[in-house]
Structures are given as structure tokens and as C-alpha cells.
Structure 1
Amino acid sequence: MGSVENEKKKDRLPSEATKILQSLASGWDDIIDPNALQVIRVKGAMTNQVFQIKWPTRTERSRKVLVRIYGEGVDIFFDRENEIRTFEFMSKMGRGPRLLGRFSNGRIEEFIHARTLSAADLRDPETSALIATKMKEFHNLDMPGPKTVLLWDRLRNYLSVAKRMSSTEEARDFGLNLIEEELSFLENALSSDHLTGFCHNDLQYGNIMIDEETSYITIIDYEYACYNPIAYDIANHFCEMAADYHTETPHLMDYSKYPGYDERKRFLRVYLSCSGKEPSDSELEHLIQEVEKYTLANHLFWGLWGLISELVNEIDFNYKEYARQRFQQYWLRKPELLGFSTSSPIRANST
């Protein structure tokens, strides 16, 4: 009975949120009863709890909004106030869902009448070209506030937290004592020549929506958004093609699905062409190589994220095994991408 009661608690909205929802609905003349709200939990979220709220209406189309309840302990990963400022900016600019209300541990957002992409959608050439165009548009945003690259500071902060929270055995198994040196090495190897822009930093398929009638793409969920090297953001998107979070084993990555050279080249040609002129072969090849190198920073970022998440997040996801795979990819790809041969300290999972 205890687990059932816990699940019910998880699906219960804070009273503060319910009051705002009822107040919103009272202002809509097509709602039959503002108090008759239906709460549907949205699956696939790994940081927050997300709920779709529906009301019966006098018309055929129901009224819907989204309620996002911020995950506990996730302030370790990003600055919530920065994320809210980004959301409000995107809302005012008409580039994302409108902000309808805020409460102490979450917010209420406009429901976008569009479909969230699936893992397979990322491989569709037409959809991929739309994403490349939208990504370039995102990178060109002139976001208020400092335009400082946060990648390396975040990675060092994550490492510090992971070391502090992990047991001695976990720290050894995941090679945490080696990562400080790896971060310094990577920063020196990657930071000499890169373009920066406002990056999403978590462009997995669940954070991209498409209007099937107009093919309009909307990028959502800005928790990790900040200024970073654009190659890092693109590398993150490519790495996400190895993931499918809607399977029986959502934590398992399939790196055979990482996009091949031609697929990456096609995406980046569209991306660079958005500036109004066709990229030269050398310009295109340079970005292809930069993106590949930044996959290494991605693997360390999400590996550390997974280790910390295992300890602070209650969402049903095998974060530790996810972390193991990301670290393994780092050590596997580093010699090929940077020419340094090192043996992996990561032990394969015996289970």
C-alpha cells in the first residue's frame, strides 16, 4: 500500500498551483467548471515532474496547460533563476510557450498544440534540417545578461559535487580522481578556436516540438541553457541520437545510432547555410571536427550529472548505469579524437 500512496502523492498538485489553475480557468468563458480539472502526468521527464491539465469545455477542443514542478536537489545542476529568466525572455519573444503563472516550486505554462519529437524523428532528413535551422536561430539569440561561457565552470562544479557525494568505491570505479586533469586537458585542447552562442545544452528529442500542419519547430525546457561553444551544443544533440528514453531500459545508450559522417555533414551544412551563404568545404570540415571533439566534454558532463542524479533524484531511471556509459564513451573516443592513448579506469558493469 505504501508504494501506491507514494505514487498518488507524486501525482498530486501543490494547493498553490491548483488555486492558480482555478483562477486561470475562471477567466476563460469556454470552461464549464474551473474546479473540474483533470491531471495527467507526462512521462519521460528526468529533472522535473510535468503534468498536463485539462478542463471540459463548451466546445469540441479542450483547454490544456502544463504544470512543471521543479525537481528537488536539481539546483546543483543549474541556476533556477537564470532558467526562469530565460523562459520569460523566450515567452515574451514568442519563441516558446507563454508563462501563465508561477508558484513556489514550479510554474504553469501554455500548452503548445504540437507533437513532441520521438527518437526516430531526429534521423528524418527533413525534420533534422528544421532542427538545424532552429538551432542556429537559438544560438543567435541576444540573451540579456553576461555572455560568459559556463561549460568548464559547470563541469568543475559537477566534479566537486560528485566527489563529495560519492563513496570512496564509487569515486574509484568511475575514475573521479582522474577527471580534474582531464577537464584541464580538454579545456586547453578545445578552447583555442570556437564560436560561442546562446546554447540549449540539452537538445534531446523530448525538448523539441513540431506543429505537424506548419512544420514549425519549438525548442522547450531551458534549464541548462547558457552561453557556450556552439560546437558543444551540436555535439550534445548528436550524442542524444544514441538515446531513446521511452523504452523498457531508457538509461541504455545505443552508440551504433550516433549519426555517421554524412548525416553530421548534412546537418551542419544546413546549420551554416542559415547565415545566408553556402559554407566552404574547409569551414564545414572544421566545424565537423570541432563538434566531434566536443562530444568528449558532453560525455563527462552527463556522466557527472548521472552520478549526482542517482543521489538527489527520485525519478525512476538508472542514472548510475547511464553515467557509466557516458564515461566509457569518453575514454573510448578520446584517443581517436585527440590522439592521446589512455586506458579507461571505468569498470564494466557486472550486472
Structure 2
Amino acid sequence: MAQKEDLADERNALKCIFARSLDDLTLRNKLGQLCASYLGGIWTTVSCQQICITTPRGGFNNKIFVVELPNGIKAKCNEPKKVILRIYGNLNERYELSEGIISAILSERYLGPRLLGIFPGGRFEEYIPSRPLTNDEYCKPCIAQEVGRILARVHSLDMPISKVCSLAQFVDDLIIGLKSSTRWTRSYPMHTTLAKVNKELCPDFITIDLLAKELKICKECLAQSGSPIVFSNNDLHEGNLLLRDGIKVTDQGFVNMKNEKDPIVLIDYEYGCYYYRGFDLCHYCVECCQHNEGKIWPYYEVKQNQWPNEEIQRLYIGAYIDEANKIWRNSNGKKMECIIDLPDDREVAIEYLLKEIRQFAAFPQLFWAIWSFQHAEIDHGDFDHFEYAFDRLAMYYYWKPEMLKYLNQ
């Protein structure tokens, strides 16, 4: 017990240290210790004041830093010159262990950045010369196809982690947290800032008990869905897809593809666990309509007209099915869980998954609404999580009738 408490204290201390300014001496000393211990080699010879550290955009939950050797100091052999330092925000011990295992396996399978070092409260990983996709790029047909292929590879993995759907427990914990908040001792008029949804689809007021009730309805619907439980990312959006340097995204496809590496890399498996295939698949379409990097209040945009048309959805799902079937054929084993329920006829299988996307689209909206209400309790920055949650909630009610079809089939 004492050891667990010590580890928890170490994680919290690390989080506090890396919340300081980048020139803070305590932060610098800790950075130097971590680099020397987990990167080794040339990093053991560099003064903590010499190490270059910057913060890229992104990272709602984790603090992300780019850490680099100073000019004039060369890395030897396979030593990294530049790395990513990820400091966990609000992962408890159980989730942190799972993410560490997930990161290591994805690294070995070339499905994510190479893991360079892991420690209580964070990790070092490979720096991939790249940038996050823009919302406009994210909606392009070539990205839809590439995301379909990536998800097929991810969903085909057999991960040595709990097969219990921990995402359900995670959102239950969020509700419990909100129930202890003084903010949620009252009701709030249902409203939107940017989402355009028929008021008749929405309740007049939102309470914590209503959110819990809606969550219960979602669980009942998804349990009836027949969607298989697979290893999933559960946080697919433009900011978690890195476009490698030099490659351009156009309406016609990728430009400047110079090697066999995948043009985009899916990162951040903080919510990675076994969950419904439909939750991950619909995420691509749902997030086409969300842009979380707005420049003025409320610092996000809702772009409902960007829901992928049927042609793009078919490209996306077709790529998913084709890649999964390719993995199955190459494995000489039994059909993977992610396609075990699909008919052999490709067009019929595509129709089946297009329907699954529509019927699952409500739940990510509720999930991220509840997540945002909870985040509003702890994050008081410019991004308006509280209003964001209401817009997400409105989109939940927009899609809810599709989800309810699971109870009537």
C-alpha cells in the first residue's frame, strides 16, 4: 500500500513540476534527470539548461513537450536527437499501466511512435517529423481511406489487457465525479452555442440525473447492437493523426509520398481499450464535424455540413473491410473479431457498417459531452468546455433516434 501511495505521489509531483514555466529550475532539473535516466547515451552528458524544450499545440489531457539536444551536440548511432515527452494528466494507476502496455505493442507493430522510455507519470516516445492534420485535410477522401486501413489494423490486434469494456466504467466515473460538484446541484436550460438542432429533439433542462439516464439508455442500445468488442483507439480526431513532413493532402490523394511509410500516424491511446467496433468506426464521421482549434471564443467550431457523404463513407468502410480481410488472409488463422459478423459480399458488408455508423453516432457525442462537463470543473483556460459540452449534447439528441432503433429491431 505504501509503495502505491509513493508512486501516486511521484506522479502528482511530476504533473505539478511540468505545469511550471519551461525555464523553471525545478522543471529543468527534473527534465535533465529523466533524459539521462531513460534516454541515456549522449543525453547523460548534457546540462539540463542546454536541453531545448517546447510545447506543441494539442494535448487536452496530457502535457506534451518536444525535447531536443542543443545545436552542436550530435547524437551517436541510434540515439535520438529529438523526442516527445508525454506527462500524463489524469490517468490513474490502472489506466496508466494499460496505456504503457498498449504503447509498447503499437510501437513494436509500427502502428505508433517508437516507445523510448516509460516511468511513473509519463513516457518518452519517438519524435515523428510531422504535424497534426487540419480539419479540412481530415475530411479528404484519401484520409478517410487511410484511417479505414489504420483502424482495421488496430481492431485486428489481440492486446494483453483486460477485455472488459473499461470505457463504460470510465464514463460512469465521470458521472460520479459530476455528482459531487456543487455546479451540478441545479439544472441548466438546454441550449447551444454553435450546433443547429431541432429543439423538439432536446429536453428543456439538463440535470446530472438526466445525463446518467441518457448514459443508461446508450448502454442498453449498444448492448443490443451486435457490434463486436475489439481493441479500439476511442479518441480518433484530427489532432491525433500526424501527417508526415513533406506529404500534402489534396482532393486527389497524397502528394510527395517518397517511401513505404504510412503517410499518417494515429497517436494517443489514452482511452484505448476493448470496446464496440461501431464506437471507433463512427468516430471518424463524427469528428469531421468538430474542429477543436478555433481562434476566437468558444475556441471550437461545429461543422455539421461536413458529415462525410455516402461516397466518402463507402471509401472509408471499403478500405477498412479490405485491410481487415488482407490481415486475415495473411494470418492463415480464423477470421478476426472485427469482421467476424460481416457477410462475405463486400457491398452488403459496407451497407451493414454504414448502418452501424449511423446508429452509433449518438454515443460519442454523449461521451464527450459528459467528459467536457467534467473537464470544465478542472480546466479554466480559454477553451469553453462547458458550452462545448452543450453543443455535443445537442448533437447526441440529433442522433439519438438512430441509436434507439437498436431497441426496436
TM > 0.5: yes
Counterpart selection for 2:375 from 290, 306, 309: 309
In structure 1, distance between residues paired with 2:188 and 2:96: 28
- Counterpart in 2 of 1:190? 222
- 144-153 vs 234-243, which moves further: 144-153
TM-superposed deviation, 1:7: 11
Please state whether the residue corresponding to 2:129 is helix, strand or coil: coil
Q: Which residue of 1 aligns with 2:320?
A: 271
Deviation at 1:271, TM superposition (A): 0.9
Pick aligned residue for 2:63 from 49, 59, 77: 49
Equivalent residues in 2 for 1:246-261, closer than 5 Å: 246-249=293-296, 250-261=299-310
Aligned with 2:20: secondary structure?
helix
Aligned length: 332
Structure 1: which amino acid aligns with 2:312?
E
Task: For residues 284-310 of structure 1, give each alpha carbon's deviation from its aligned partner in whole angstroms, at most 9, with x where no partner exists.
Answer: 112111111211111111001001111
Call closer, same or farther: CA 1:132–1:338 in 2, change over 3 Å: same
Shift of 1:50: 0.9
Task: Provide the rounded CA distance (Å) in 2 between the counterparts of 1:170 and 1:38.
Answer: 48
1:66 aligns with: 84
1:245 pairs with 2:289? no
Q: 1:231-274: CA deviations, max 9, x gaps?
A: 10111222111222332143332222222333222211211122
Partner SS, residue 152 of structure 1: helix
1:294-338: CA deviation from partner (whole Å, max 9, x where unpaired): 111111110010011111235542111111111111112223553
Alpha carbons 2:358, 2:402 under 8 Å: kept = no
Deviation at 1:25, TM superposition (A): 6.7
Alignment partner of 1:17 out of 10, 19, 31? 31
1:203 to 232, 236, 251: 236
Give the 3 Å change call, closer, same or farther, for CA 151–22 of structure 1 in structure 2.
closer
1:83 to 2:68 alignment: no
Q: Deviations over 1:194-249 (max 9, x none)?
A: 12211000011111123333351322111000011111011122211122233214
1:35-46 matches, within 5 Å, as 35=48, 36-46=50-60
Name the % identity.
Answer: 24
Q: Report whether the alignment pairs 1:297 with 2:363.
A: yes
Partner of 1:175: 207
- Give me the CA root mean square deviation: 3.1
For 1:336 and 1:77, the matched residues in 2 are separated by 37
Say if 1:307 and 1:320, in contact at 8 Å, map to a contact too.
yes
Q: Which amino acid aligns with 2:206?
A: F
Deviation at 1:32, TM superposition (A): 9.4
Structure 2 residue runs of 5 or longer lacking an equivalent are 1-16, 190-204, 248-257, 327-343
Quote the offset at 1:41 in angstroms: 0.9
Q: 1:90 deviation in Å?
A: 1.9
Q: How does 1:52-201 map to 2 (within 5 A)?
A: 52-55=66-69, 56-57=71-72, 63-71=81-89, 74-75=90-91, 79-165=95-181, 166-169=183-186, 173-192=205-224, 193-201=226-234
Q: In structure 1, the residue corresponding to 2:363 is in which secondary structure?
A: helix
The one-letter code sitting in structure 2 at the alignment partner of 1:68 is R
Q: Distance in 2 between matches of 1:319 and 1:205?
A: 18
User: What is the CA–CA distance in structure 1 between the aligned matches of 2:385 and 2:94, rounded to whole Å?
Assistant: 18
Q: Which is worse superposed, 126-135 or 185-194?
A: 185-194
Residue 180 to residue 149, structure 1, CA distance change in 2 (3 Å): same
- Work out the CA distance in 2 between the residues paired with 1:230 and 1:237: 12
Task: Look up the equivalent residue of 2:186 and give its one-letter code.
Answer: E
Deviates more, 1:7-16 or 1:249-258: 7-16
User: 1:131 and 1:164 mapped to 2: Cα distance?
Assistant: 39
Once residues 85 and 247 of structure 1 are traced to their aligned partners in structure 2, the CA distance between those partners, rounded to angstroms, is 34
Contact 1:269-1:284 within 8 A present in 2 as well:
yes
Other structure's SS at 2:362 match? helix
| SS of aligned partner of 2:301 | coil
Q: Output the TM-score relative to the length of structure 1.
A: 0.83
1-side partners of 2:143 and 2:119: how far apart? 35
C-alpha distance in 2, partners of 1:276/1:116?
A: 29
Q: State which drifts further: 234-243 or 165-174.
A: 165-174
Aligned pair partner of 2:353 in 284, 287, 293? 287
8 Å CA contact 2:98–2:161 kept in 1: the answer is no
| CA deviation map 1:47-98 (0-9, x unaligned) | 11111112224569x9211111222xx2379822211221122223343222
**Equivalences for residues 312-331 of structure 1 within 5 A:** 312-313=378-379, 315-331=381-397
Matched letter for residue 304 of structure 1: I
Distance 1:57 1:305 in 2: 45
